[in-house]
Amino acid sequence: MDRSTLSDLFTAWWDSGDRDAARVLADALLESGELKEQFVDLPAEQLAGMLQTFRSAALVAPVLAAAFGRVSEALGTALQEAVQGFRAFAEAMGQLPRHDQPTR
């Protein structure tokens, strides 16, 4: 099977996300000899499952990255506010008379 056909099968599977399309692609990849050594002995069904898992992870990664960015930004803002609060607390504590000094 030529690379153009493999490319078409990959595109069809990626666009559809269909499990049957993943199986067709897995069969074609196994028959083509284009797989790395660690994958050539896998059953087509297992390879199809790995393809589906890869697609899911690849499609979710940008969403997770954006969510992580928003969480990081919120935590950064909260941390800055906490630091400001601790500074204000420390300043206020510094203005209190010490217990070992007489009050005036």
Query: What tens-digit pLDDT sequence spans the chain (104 residues)?
Result: 788 999 999 999 999 999 999 999 999 999 998 888 888 899 999 999 999 999 999 999 998 899 988 888 888 888 888 888 888 888 888 888 877 666 55
Whole-model pTM?
0.61
**11 neighbors 55 (Cβ within 8 angstroms):** no
CB atoms within 10 A of CB 11: 12
- Chain centroid to Cα 60, Å, comes to 7
